Amino acid sequence: MTRLLRVSGALLLGALGGCAGIFQHHMPAVPASYAVQSPVAPAQLRVGSAERDITPEVGGYMAGFSIARTSTAISTPLKLRALVIDTPSRRIAIVGIDNLGVMRQDADWLKGGVAGFANGDVFLCASHTHAGPDLIGLWGYYGFSTGRDPAYLTKLHDALRQAVAEALASAVPAHFEFGQTRLPPAGLVKNSNRGGVFDRRLSVLTAKADDDGRPVGTLLHMACHPEVLSRRNSLISADFVGALCEQWRARGHGQAVFVNGALGAMVSPDWRERDPDGVAAFGAVACDLAEQALTEAAPLPVDAIEVRRRDVYLPLDTMLFRLGRLFTVLPRELYSGNARSSVGYLRLGALEAIAVPGEMEPAMAAQLRRELGKPDVLLFGLCDDEVGYLLRDRDAHDPEFAYERSMSPCTDAGERVRRAISGVGYPR
C-alpha cells in the first residue's frame, strides 16, 4: 500500500507538472502572424447584420461565479449577433456572443464554418455574461466532470455560420458614423479593486444605408462585467448586454452587436437591483448613453481596412487550470506546456481596435494605449479566447489581486499579451 501511494503521488506530481501530455503539441519557434491591408474605394463599402438565438436548454451548467451551478429557467434569450463589412477585396465580421467566453481552439473551429471569410478576419467576442452555459469546462460538477456540452458547441457553430451568411446576403452600400460619450463616474459602473479606475468611454459605430440613411448595423462598445444578476442567480440571461441590444432595436436603431472592453480586475455594475428588473433598467440607462453618443456621431470615412493577428503562448502555471486539465474538465490544447492564444488589430479608416484574448484590467489597457501612442484605440476584450485576467506586473504580485491571479494562466500573462501587441509589426 505504501509503495502504491508513493507511485500514485509521483504520477500526480508528474501530471501536475506536465498535465500528462493531454492535448499537447510542439510550440513553434516563431509564433504565427497574419497581416493584410485592403484599400476601399468610394461606394465599395457594403454592410449587413443579423442575429441568431443561442439560448441553451434549461438544466445545464452555468459559467462563472460558483461551480456546479445549473440553470433553472430562462429570463432572457441568449443571442449571437454579427456585423459584416464587405468590400471587393476584404470581408470582416465582428461577432458578439452572449457567453462568458470561448477557448482558442473552439473559436478556430467555430469560425471554420464561416464561408467566404479568412479566420483572422472574423472577430468572435464574448460578452462575458455569467448567466450562460459553460464553454470552458471549469464550472461542472465540483471538478469531477466538465461543464461543457458538445451539442451546444455545435449549435453555436450553426448559428455563427447562419448569422454571418445572412448578414452578408443582406449587406447594402453604406457609410459609417462614429460617436462616443462618457459613463458617469459613479452609479452605473465601478471598479471593486481600484476605486474609480475604469474606461468611461461608451462608443457607437453605426452603419447607415447610402440610399435612405436607414440603420443597417451598429457596434456598441463599453467595458463592464455583465453581472447585474447576482452570483445566486440560476436564470439564463444575457444580462444587461441583451437588454441594451434589445432596447437599441426597439428605439429604431436596428441590429446591435455588443463588444466588451477592458473589464478586468474588477469592473462591474454599480447597481442595486440584482434581478431581471435591474437588468432591464441597467440596459435602458446604457441605451440612453449610447443614443447620446449617436447624436454626437461624425462621419467615419473608410478608405482602407487593415487586419493584423499574432499568436501568443502563455505558460499554464496556475494550479486551477493545471488541475482542470489533469481531470480533463478543461480540454485546453497545450503547446510544450503553453496555451496558444492570439492578439489582433483592426483598422477601419481612422478607427482602430486591438483584440485581446481575455479580461484586461483598465490600468493595463491605459498603459498599452500610451505605449502604442494611440489614446483613442478601442479594446475588444474576450476576443477569440478566454484566458482569464490580464494584469500589469505590479498588480499580478499585489495581494489585492489574488483572486484575479488565480484565474489567469500564469502570473505574467498580461505582460506577455501586452508585449505581443506592442511588438514589431503593429502600427504605431
Question: What are the average pLDDT values for consecutive 10-residue runs of the chain, which has 428 residues?
Answer: 36 40 80 94 94 98 96 98 97 98 97 96 98 97 91 98 98 98 97 93 98 98 98 97 98 98 96 97 98 97 97 94 90 95 97 98 96 96 98 95 94 96 63
Q: Which residues of 253-362 form beta strands (DSSP E)?
A: 256-260, 267-269, 298-300, 304-315, 334-335, 338-348, 351-355, 359-360
The alpha carbons of the chain give a radius of gyration, in whole angstroms, of: 21
User: Kind of pairing, strands 338-348 and 334-335?
Assistant: antiparallel
- What are the grid coordinates assigned to 36, written together? 493584410
DSSP letter for each residue of 272-301: S--SHHHHHHHHHHHHHHHHHHHHT-EEE-
pTM (2 decimals)?
0.94
pLDDT of residue 426: 55
Contact 48, 171 (CB under 8 A): yes
How far apart, in Å, do the first and last CA atoms of the chain sit?
63
H or E, element range at 386? none
What's the CA gap between 312 and 33, in Å, rounded? 10
What's the CA gap between 196 and 362, in Å, rounded? 10
pLDDT of residue 28: 94
What's the CA gap between 288 and 419, in Å, rounded? 37
Residues in the chain: 428
pLDDT of residue 2: 38
Query: Quick one: CA dihedral 323, 326, 328, 333, positive or negative?
Result: positive
> In 3D, which of 314, 357, 319 has the Cα closest to residue 339?
314
- Residue 20 CB neighbours (<10 A): 15
pLDDT of residue 144: 85
What's the CA gap between 61 and 131, in Å, rounded? 10
pLDDT of residue 22: 55
CA separation (Å) from 367 to 363, 373, 426?
6, 10, 16
Q: What are phi and psi of 235, to 5 degrees?
A: -95, 135
- Residue 292 CB neighbours (<10 A): 15
**Helix (H, G, I), strand (E, B), or coil: what is residue 209?**
strand
Please name the residue that has the C-alpha cell 446604457.
Answer: 286
pLDDT of residue 143: 81
Cβ neighbours of residue 155 under 8 Å, at least 6 residues apart?
54, 56
Cβ neighbours of residue 80 under 8 Å, at least 6 residues apart?
51, 52, 54, 95, 96, 97, 98, 156, 159, 160, 163
Write the pLDDT tens digit of every residue in 356-378: 999 999 999 999 999 999 999 99
pLDDT of residue 15: 41
Q: What are phi and psi of 359, to 5 degrees?
A: -105, 90
**DSSP assigned state of 12:** H
